Amino acid sequence: MNVSHSDNTLSQAIRALGHNDFFPALLSWLEIDKLVTDPLALLYQPDQRPIVLYHSYDQKHYQDHVRAYIDTGIYVLDPFYRASVEHQQQGISELADVAPDEFEQSEFFTQYYAPLKLHHEITVLVPLNEHCFLHFSLDTAEGSEQTCRDILEARIDVLTSLLFQQGQQLLQQNDSQHFVAQSVHQALNNFGSSILTPREQDIVHLMLQGHSNQSAAEKLNVAHSTVKSHRKSIYQKLDITSQSELFYLFLDALPHLSADTPDPLSHYLTPPPKGG
């Protein structure tokens, strides 16, 4: 590594804080711009849809995947997102570190993650405060996974400091712009509350994330047979027959968020009033 080059590119990244060229400057400083593809930076805030801070996708790929990830509300099932929200996890993470045991059998994986055709995703999770997070995701080229991770780990203190400062500046900008709240995360918490018992809701949340019956039983500290029994009851109450149908029911219900009815499913299943 050329020290003078590293110092120079680090200075450029620092000068770019708060500006659009920050993330390209950051990649240049890390010297991994040739080792990774599809860098993506997202800002997560409570009761708001994620904000894309940086990406390098072409327009079609961006609309088909990134915008769909945000606009449908499917991001609340993302293992990286949940690692931050539920476990306050920070630092360098790979999918295997955060994904449930049957994630690759989940509809989120099939419908969203697999089509991205990521080779080996590494994400740096940075908490900005108690509720807000910045995620900087990179897809490493084949054969460069360990090299890329080694570089990130060697520079993690400065890297997270820079990402933290960039995130804080953007948070202040967003506060001044009065973004409209989007309570998608609350919708997941309340999904089915008008029909299901609290324990059935817990199991629905885990099913949507890709947990198996055994994994759900372990997380809830109940017997495997208890989860199976609740799952059967859930399917009957929601008039569905598979985890796939549950996933699409959740997505279909999301647009029916309402301030006066916490459960979006309630509005979705209520027939519209007949005209007089």
Q: What pLDDT sits at residue 200?
A: 94
Residues pairing with 227 in the sheet: none
Q: How confident is the model at residue 56 (pLDDT cuts 50, 70, 90)?
A: confident
Whole-number mean pLDDT of the chain? 84
Q: Work out the angle at residue 69's Cα, subtended by the Cα atoms of residues 247 and 59, and round it to the nearest 5 degrees.
A: 140
The sheet carrying 91-94 orders its strands as 51-55, 36-44, 133-140, 121-127, 91-94
User: Could you tell me which residue, 148 or 251, shows the higher pLDDT?
Assistant: 148
The confidence score (pLDDT) of residue 176 equals 42
**63 close to 102: Cβ distance less than 8 angstroms:** no
**pLDDT-above-70 percentage for the chain:** 89
Domain ranges of the chain: 3-177, 184-269
**Is 152 in contact with 30 (CB distance < 8 Å)?**
yes
If one looks up domain 184-269 in CATH, what number appears?
1.10.10.10
Confidence of residue 113 (pLDDT cuts 50, 70, 90): confident
* pLDDT tens, residue by residue, 115-150: 877 778 899 999 998 889 999 999 888 888 889 899
Q: Structure tokens of 161?
A: 């400091």
Q: What is the pTM of this model?
A: 0.74
Q: What pLDDT does residue 122 have?
A: 92
Q: Can you give the pLDDT at residue 190?
A: 84
* pLDDT tens readout for residues 204-240: 988 888 888 999 999 999 999 999 999 999 999 999 9
| DSSP code of residue 194 | T
Which carries the bigger pLDDT value, residue 183 or residue 85?
Answer: 85
Least confident of 21-35, 138-152, 183-197, 254-268: 254-268
CA–CA separation, 28 and 12 (whole Å): 9
What is the predicted pLDDT for the residue at 276?
Answer: 43
Q: Which of 20-24, 67-71, 198-202 has the lowest mean pLDDT?
A: 67-71
- The reply to whether 184-269 shares the fold of 3-177 is no
pLDDT digit string, tens, across residues 58-69: 888 888 888 888
Residues 6+ apart with CB under 8 A from 160: 90, 91, 124, 126
d(CA 58, CA 61): 5
Per-residue pLDDT, 71:
85
Domain 3-177 is of which CATH architecture? 2-Layer Sandwich (3.30)
The pLDDT, as a whole number, for residue 179 is 37
Residue 49: pLDDT band (50, 70, 90) is confident
What pLDDT shows up at residue 164? 93
| Confidence band, pLDDT 50/70/90 cuts, at residue 178 | very low
